[in-house]
Amino acid sequence: MAQQLHVDLVAVEEKVWSGEAEMVVARTTEGELGVLPGHAPLLGQLAEPSQVRIKQAGGQQVAYDITGGFLSVGAESVTVLAESATPATPAR
């Protein structure tokens, strides 16, 4: 089984999404960042507006539109703390 990241996406009022993922992509004030298992720890400020994409095992992907917040990365975990997070509208 491939390594997984534990991901928590938390908005001010609630936990929006929690689970295991192969990769997380987010846009910080420093640019777009892809996080895989084993990534060096970091703390980044999310760009506004932004989108966080979570790639799950099997290729499924979920995306959330984010307003404000921070991204915290550990070796095997990612936590997104956002002012607001809503499911992204699929591109057509």
Greatest Cα-to-Cα distance within the chain, rounded to the nearest angstrom = 35
Enter the CATH code of domain 5-87.
2.60.15.10
What is the C-alpha to C-alpha distance for residues 47 and 36, in angstroms, rounded to an integer? 20
Beta bridge partners of 10: 15, 81
pLDDT at 44: 97
Whole-model pTM?
Answer: 0.91
Distances, alpha carbon 30 to alpha carbons 15, 22, 48, 81, in Å: 25, 22, 12, 17
- pLDDT > 70 fraction of the chain, expressed in percent and rounded: 95
Q: Where are the domains of the chain?
A: 5-87
Across the chain, what does the average pLDDT equal?
Answer: 93
The tens digit of pLDDT for each residue in 21-52 reads 999 999 999 999 999 999 999 999 999 999 99
pLDDT at 92: 47
Q: Around Cβ 56, how many Cβ atoms within 10 Å?
A: 15
Task: Read off the pLDDT band of 13 (50, 70, 90).
Answer: confident
